[in-house]
Structure 1
Amino acid sequence: GPDAGGSGFMNRAIASVLQTAGLPVARGGGSHLVSALATIINAQGGDCRTGAEVERVLVSGGHASGVRLVDGHTVTAGRAVLCNVTPPQLYDHLLADCAVPPAALAEGHRYRFGRAGMQIHYALSSPPRWDGDDRLSRTPVVHLTPGLDGVSRAVNEADRGLLPHTATIVCGQP
């Protein structure tokens, strides 16, 4: 948040990256990025499926050997099983029937979630129109907030595990 020592540096770093490379967004939405990554993995001999819910990670000889899908199909792993889930989902659900080393299980249960964010991408027929200040239409990233104190308050609330009373909304635009 704004009260953190490195936050001023991060603003400059992010601004530099945005100025240099822009703000890339997958044409057609984030699902197209997922499809492209799956295509790359499958082209290299992997087996990446989208929209297939995993019921269990299968373990053989102390190593992940594949997954069982909720529809009953089994996918066998050649080298690795990659999961994009939280530690509780992995250890308490996907590996629930496995002998997970106690140290790994304890580490997973000690995991604490950080602050979260949510991103929504809109495909608009025209750029956003801002009332009150025409400079906003030329600004790549607009922060909708009650001010710096409001951002600080929201970060403080989130750090304490609370849903901020007033959210900070960040609008990136072309």
Structure 2
Amino acid sequence: MKDANLVSTALQLRWPWLQRSEVSKPWTSFHIRFNPQVLALFREACCSVVGDGRSTLFWTDNWIDGRSIESFAPVVFATVGRRTCHRRLVVDALVGSAWIHDISGPLNAQGMAEFLQLADTLVTMALVPGQEDVLRWRWSTSGVYFAKSAFLHFFEDRPTFPPWSQIWRCSAPLKCRI
């Protein structure tokens, strides 16, 4: 039997996927509140391939080698305002190195090391004008969201019960199996 909570979570992941991947649809303008666990799973399962940088969030989306700046430089990320984190796009941040102005507050030694590493990484990034950003689903081979791929990912590391086939392939008559 399938776990109803996991099925529900796999299906709830579809809404943030649709909001980010099909921007021309009417539901993208709706402000839908998502469960924080669903959003965390969505961020883990998606990565952006940056084109022009107009639909990828600079601080929170996974776009630098499949990682977000939040995970790449956590000390630097901690100094950025919450509102800025969820609104700053890659195109806005990279033009004129505007992302540096988002950092408010002092950085310790680890923060400075992260800042310098981030600056070196961002120097090599180039935007491609006219090419839209592509959202990819990590848990499927095609890169497109499927509820089945999310559901199967939940069971990836769980132990299996090999004798299940013997239970369901019983050769007794149907009236005896029930």
- What TM-score do the two structures reach when normalised by structure 1? 0.26
- More strand, by proportion: 1
Q: How does the TM-score come out when normalised to structure 2?
A: 0.26
